[in-house]
Amino acid sequence: MKGYISGKLSKSIDVILKDYRKDRPIDSMNIIAEPDKALIWSITDQLFRIIYPGYFKDKTYRYYEILNNLTVTLEDIVYYLSRQIASCLKNEQIHQLMEEKGIASAEDESELLTPEEVRALEQKADRITIDFLNSIPRVREYLDTDLEAFFDGDPAAESRDEIILCYPGFYAITVYRLAHELYRLGVPMLPRIMTEYAHTQTGIDINPGATIGKYFFIDHGTGIVVGETTLIGEHVKIYQGVTLGALSTKGGRKLQNRKRHPTIEDYVTIYSGASILGGDTVIGRGSVVGGNVFITSSVDVGTRVSVKNRELVFDNDSNKVVEKDGGDGWFYII
């Protein structure tokens, strides 16, 4: 087998290298100014030490040295985050210039950016990094309300510690709130890398562009999708499998920067498997949306939305299951 492989390997390599020369987007060799995905994931993990210092501290340090530990962690985050933000800013500008000039590839950023432009982007990244750090108290204020919403809303939670350490919904919300601050500060790509990291860990997909108020509660969470232009008020509760999405993506790129996803007002509960779609769709304050409901138009304040259920009836003689109209049904609650 080794003899066969060694005899064919060089030809296989030539075939693959030839395929790289077709000048398609997937053939790009632009290794300049590319953000480091693995490093951004690592920064995300480090940020948990800052947000929840008693829960995710470095175990190599003694507890009474925790403030020194946090200082070192902050300095580490600043060093790497500023550079990753700079990479994302450069990447965005380089790709815009390449598109404008019809350039397929470049081997060095100096081919497209002057030293002055590079320096300006790096200084902008430094300013954004400090602005982001200054936003952390506000992020923690929101997360404190989310924690209370989880504890009040889930009788299975034994303690707040359990929620912080175990609950995927709370993990996803934490990453979202951090990424949303970077999104607000105009950082391209990096916030999405963060929330997609949370997506891989939890199955919960929250776009960093979504706007979410205080006391947000996700129960179970797997399969939840929250689109970029979604607006969610305060005291909103969402169960697994819920989609807050766009009604249609038929317009493609023309829909960019338009309101495509629904608005969920305060004190709304959305149960498992519901899909609420469209930028003009508003779910009124205090409404309850039942499981597996499909909504593409607005719902008035205080509305209870449900699917008409079928009732299962067992025939004891034939041991068959038959369906019978059950009137106005209701949804199930986990």
Per-residue pLDDT of 128-160, as tens digits, reads 999 999 999 999 999 999 999 999 999 999 999
Three-state DSSP state, 129:
helix
Q: Residue 54's pLDDT is what?
A: 85
CA–CA separation, 296 and 14 (whole Å): 52
What torsion, rounded to 10 degrees, do the Cα atoms 59, 63, 69, 73 define?
A: 50
Q: What is the CATH number of domain 20-206?
A: 1.10.3130.10
Q: Residue 273's pLDDT is what?
A: 96
Q: Which residues contact 91 (CB under 8 A, 6 or more apart)?
A: 33, 34, 35, 188, 189
- For the domain made up of 210-334, the CATH class stated in words is mainly beta
Whether pLDDT at 329 is above 50: no
Three-state DSSP state, 307:
coil
CA–CA separation, 316 and 151 (whole Å): 44
Backbone torsion region of residue 221, taken as left when φ is above 0, otherwise alpha when ψ lies between -120 and 50, otherwise beta: left
Q: Residue 334's pLDDT is what?
A: 30
Whether pLDDT at 330 is above 50: no
Helices (H), the chain: 2-19, 37-51, 66-101, 115-153, 160-166, 168-184, 190-202
CA–CA separation, 231 and 243 (whole Å): 13
Q: How far is CA 5 from CA 2, 12, 15, 19, 254, in A?
A: 5, 10, 15, 20, 49
More confident residue, 254 or 289: 289
**Which helix (H) or strand (E) is 212 found in, with range?**
strand 211-212
Q: How many CB atoms lie within 10 A of CB 93?
A: 18
pTM: 0.86
% of the chain with per-residue pLDDT over 90: 65
Q: Residue 302's pLDDT is what?
A: 96
Rounded average pLDDT over 76-88: 96
Portions of the chain given CATH number 2.160.10.10: 210-334
Q: Residue 333's pLDDT is what?
A: 36
Per-residue pLDDT of 251-275, as tens digits, reads 666 667 789 999 999 999 999 999 9
Within a 13 Å sphere around the CA of 291, how many CA atoms are in the beta-carbon half? 11
Per-residue pLDDT of 192-214, as tens digits, reads 999 999 999 999 999 999 999 99
Q: Residue 90's pLDDT is what?
A: 93
**Poorest-pLDDT segment among 29-33, 82-86, 268-272:** 29-33
Whether pLDDT at 124 is above 80: yes
**Per-residue pLDDT band at 280 (split at 50, 70, 90):** very high
Average confidence score pLDDT of the chain? 88
Rounded average pLDDT over 17-46: 85
Yes or no: say if 227 and 261 are a contact pair by the CB < 8 Å rule.
yes
Q: Residue 245's pLDDT is what?
A: 96
Portions of the chain given CATH number 1.10.3130.10: 20-206
**Per-residue pLDDT band at 320 (split at 50, 70, 90):** low
